């Protein structure tokens, strides 16, 4: 870094040089590890995706080399995606008990992190009603961060946003997938909220009952994807999934929705919502990331003093080790948007919900879990040093 070089160049004593090196946020070890990632050709596009971000604190001042390495990778990508799972508001009152809110100034951290596009289709986007949604969208617009998944009505919520890099246009359609979501969070024909696919109980011929998606909601999602297909070379669909077991891929619920999105024209499914990592499936040669895990998970217990029931949930979440295991998915694309490489970079969150890269036993456990969850879906995940690489299917 330029700052470190200037310090070292000005130093006379070797002790001063050592001290400057120790203060450098990204040390030699992590510079080397970042350099081990697959290097794209000049005309290739790097897409980096992260999961759920409930982000309250300033990370940019951190001297943790593992954290700085993570954000260097995010910034180095051509297109960087995060699920923006909170509302930014500095006034007003919550509409529900289970709130996730941050001050609008936090968006400056997303800019520092190199964030290009975010999903707003999640269960917290209406925590402060329409005014909170409006503040969030305006703050992101002012920062130059593209977004999709929420709007003044259902049509706007389903409308894709488009990011262009190196001549490649990527459209993002963002959808909340939940059988329990209600009007107020989900948008209506004339009411604000998020794009959504709901579910209902269905009895099968053998007498068993499953939760299946609403046909009308699936059609609305499919129409949005087909519209995005006309605007872009690559269509990404963000699915915020609250459906069934956290790390289970149920064939009647979330898998139906994800595959329907691919059938409609999606090139990649960016899944998140359960706050834990899940497996990876290739359907018709298109990757479905069922859950990327948490990116930042910062619930402040003092914010829930007047919501004791919610405080119990926050305390339970804060003690669940699975919620602190995550990953960054880094992909190299051809100029036409074809997938040429997919890397899984292991991430651990601190007790305060702050992300950083990880190695050693913790990395082994995270990457082994992704492999175990992906194997039944027919996807091979192989170790490559401190991270893993996903076997891509041969495209006819």
Which segments of the chain have a pLDDT < 70? 1-25, 96-98, 301-306, 396
CATH 3.60.21.10 domain residues, the chain: 45-390
d(CA 323, CA 348): 9
DSSP for 8-56, please give it. Answer: HHH--SHHHHHHHHHH-SS-HHHHHHHHTSPPPPTT-EEEEEEEEEE--
d(CA 82, CA 21): 31
5: Cβ contacts below 8 Å, ≥ 6 apart? none
Which residues of 61-194 form beta strands (DSSP E)? Answer: 79-84, 87-88, 101-102, 117-119, 146-148, 150-151, 161-165, 168-177, 193-194
Question: Measuring CA to CA, which residue among 50, 25, 38, 166 is closest to residue 114?
Answer: 50
228: Cβ contacts below 8 Å, ≥ 6 apart? 160, 162, 171, 172, 173, 235, 265
Task: Please write the tens of the pLDDT for every residue from 5-27.
Answer: 333 333 332 333 233 333 346 78
d(CA 236, CA 225): 9
The topology under which CATH files domain 45-390 is Purple Acid Phosphatase; chain A, domain 2 (3.60.21)
d(CA 114, CA 309): 36
Across 225-254, b (16+ Cβ under 10 Å) vs e yields bebbbeebbbbbbbbbbbbbebbebeebbb
Q: How far apart are the first and last CA of the chain?
A: 44
What is the Cα 23 distance to its own chain's centre?
Answer: 30
Question: Measuring CA to CA, which residue among 310, 226, 295, 294 is closest to residue 262?
Answer: 226
Sign of CA dihedral 235, 37, 388, 278: negative
The whole-number pLDDT of residue 394 equals 83
């Amino acid at each position: 870094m330029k700052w470190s070089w200037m310090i070292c160049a000005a130093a006379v004593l070797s002790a001063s040089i050592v001290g400057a090196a120790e203060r450098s946020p990204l040390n030699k070890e992590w510079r080397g590890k970042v350099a081990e990632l697959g290097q794209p050709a000049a005309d290739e596009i790097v897409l980096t995706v992260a999961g759920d971000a409930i982000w309250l604190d300033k990370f940019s001042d951190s001297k943790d080399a593992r954290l700085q390495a993570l954000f260097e990778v995010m910034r180095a990508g051509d297109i960087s995606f995060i699920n923006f799972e909170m509302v930014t508001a500095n006034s007003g009152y919550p509409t529900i008990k289970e709130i996730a809110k941050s001050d609008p100034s936090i968006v400056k951290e997303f800019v520092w992190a190199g964030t290009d596009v975010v999903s707003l289709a999640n269960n917290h986007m209406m925590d402060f009603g329409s005014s909170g949604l409006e503040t969030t969208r305006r703050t992101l617009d002012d920062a130059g961060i593209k977004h999709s998944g929420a709007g003044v009505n259902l049509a706007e919520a389903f409308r894709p946003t488009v990011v262009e890099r190196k001549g490649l246009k990527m459209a993002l359609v963002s959808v909340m997938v939940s059988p329990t979501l209600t009007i107020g969070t989900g948008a209506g024909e004339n009411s604000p909220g998020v794009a959504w696919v709901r579910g209902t109980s269905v009895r099968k011929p053998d007498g068993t009952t499953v939760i299946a998606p609403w046909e009308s909601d699936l059609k609305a999602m499919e129409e949005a994807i087909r519209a995005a297909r006309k605007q872009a070379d690559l269509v990404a669909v963000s699915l915020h999934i609250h459906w069934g077991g956290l790390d289970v891929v149920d064939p009647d619920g979330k898998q139906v929705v994800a595959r329907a999105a691919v059938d409609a024209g999606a090139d990649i499914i960016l899944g998140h919502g359960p706050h834990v990592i899940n497996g990876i499936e290739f359907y018709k040669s298109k990757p479905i990331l069922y859950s990327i895990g948490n990116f930042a998970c910062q619930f402040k217990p003092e914010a829930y003093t007047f919501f004791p029931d919610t405080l119990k949930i926050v305390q339970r979440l804060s003690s669940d080790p699975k919620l602190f295991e995550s990953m960054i998915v880094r992909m190299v694309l051809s100029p036409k948007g074809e997938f040429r490489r997919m890397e899984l970079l292991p991430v651990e969150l601190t007790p305060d919900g702050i992300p950083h890269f990880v190695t050693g036993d913790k990395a082994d456990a995270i990457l082994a879990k992704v492999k175990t969850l992906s194997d039944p879906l027919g996807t091979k995940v192989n170790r490559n040093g401190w991270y893993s690489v996903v076997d891509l299917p041969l495209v006819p």
